[in-house]
Structure 1
Amino acid sequence: MRARYNGVADWYAARSTHWAEDNREDLLELLGPGDGRLCLDLGCGTGNYFAMIAETGRRVIGLDRSSDQLRFARTKGGVPLVESDAARLPFAAESFDDVLALWISTDLDDFAGTLREIARVLRPDGSFYFYGVHPCFNGPHVEYQEDGGRLAHPTYRQSGWHEPSAWWAGDGIRGTVGMRHTPLAEFLNAFLSAGLLLDHVVEPEGGPVPGALAVRARLSSGVPR
């Protein structure tokens, strides 16, 4: 996997400082209290969410593929950091109480493989928290409308990496680094094949059509580790 954010981390950090606050209430409600639980912030980027995760009582370890992004994360409160590919985690089985994946599904080359790795490193009573792009209403197939609606184009079924899109602003995140689109069936089947059971699903507010999807999942009993 190429570290696509290397070389654009300064630009990204300047644009993304408010994102954690924008999602704050939804994320705190999704996570709930986590006193003392060891939590992996998978794809932590510049570390924007470290303080919010710590606020729940969790102990945070950050992981990202981009050394350039981690340069900024090192300035965020002394959180232990690891540079690695999310689909090949450098941790033993059952290392974490919780794993968080916040706004990273669009940057993963292997979404299903990443979820299998998440299941491997989760402890039996652990939880996986996903908060990110809605597979149906946010992506290279979506054209935003002035009334808040979203027009879906046939590219919805084109799973995989997209760089050009007529619907992306040229100076935005996706226009700069592209994105991987994962249709809904592929998204859900990735959870099932990893042995992750959906425990709670939310389409956060933010407009008449949800652009984000939040999921809490747990390990299915009897799944080989």
Structure 2
Amino acid sequence: MHDANRPVNTPWLVAGGVSFTSRLIVGIEQYADPRLVADVLAAGGCDVFITTYDPTGDRASLLLSDLDEAMDLTRYGWIGTTSFAYSAGEAVDTAKKLRAAFGIEVIKLDVRTPDNLPDGEPTVAAAKTLIGDGFSVLPFIRPDAGLAKRLVDLGAVALRVMASPVASARGVLDPDAVRAVIETVDVPVVAEGGLGTPEQVSEALALGADAVLVNTAIATARDSPATAAAMRRAVDAALLTEPAGT
């Protein structure tokens, strides 16, 4: 059961030594300017810094040394992401490299299909291996209550549920399915994917999601920090609203 009165300043998840307090998580994979990353995270009130390793090595990425000059990285809880993985093996390899390089124990687990949708069975396989290795895992799945239960039974500390395809800006396509996941599991649920406006963020939280993750809508905005601030205001307002259907 998820708490209808979700206080703004209380951690909604503590895992792997990282406390998640902000209900807005912001991806930083699409930025080329470290100063802009710093401004976006500050404007969004974020307390988590997400880093990754690209197994293909063909994507440009910000250097941590440049980010460290632009912001105080010690203020953030560090988590890793496997968002460039297209197989369970790539996801596991990425997580192990992040642990070896940075001591990261919390993994935002993504295994994608070629069309960039969450791939259920490889996600389960990767989650089983990583949880067995002591990682705290937050898998990304389509809104499938059965799959959600399997992952929680394996030991996932939270779930990230696709609202709509990544970068689609279509909002929550199937509210009933997202709500079914939330009502099925007893771990925090993050709504993610296709949340393109503050109104869509509010809708996801009104369904009972514990937090939202927004990336493309902020990264591609003309004023990314202002958009992050607008998303933050939408989150704060939604926390005062009782989840729909209660």
* TM-score of the two chains, using structure 2 as the length reference: 0.31
Instruction: Flag the structure with more relative contact order, 1 or 2, with Cα contacts below 8 A and sequence separation at least 6.
Output: 2
Between Structure 1 and Structure 2, the one with more strand by share is 1
Between Structure 1 and Structure 2, the one with more helix by share is 2
* TM-score of the two chains, using structure 1 as the length reference: 0.33
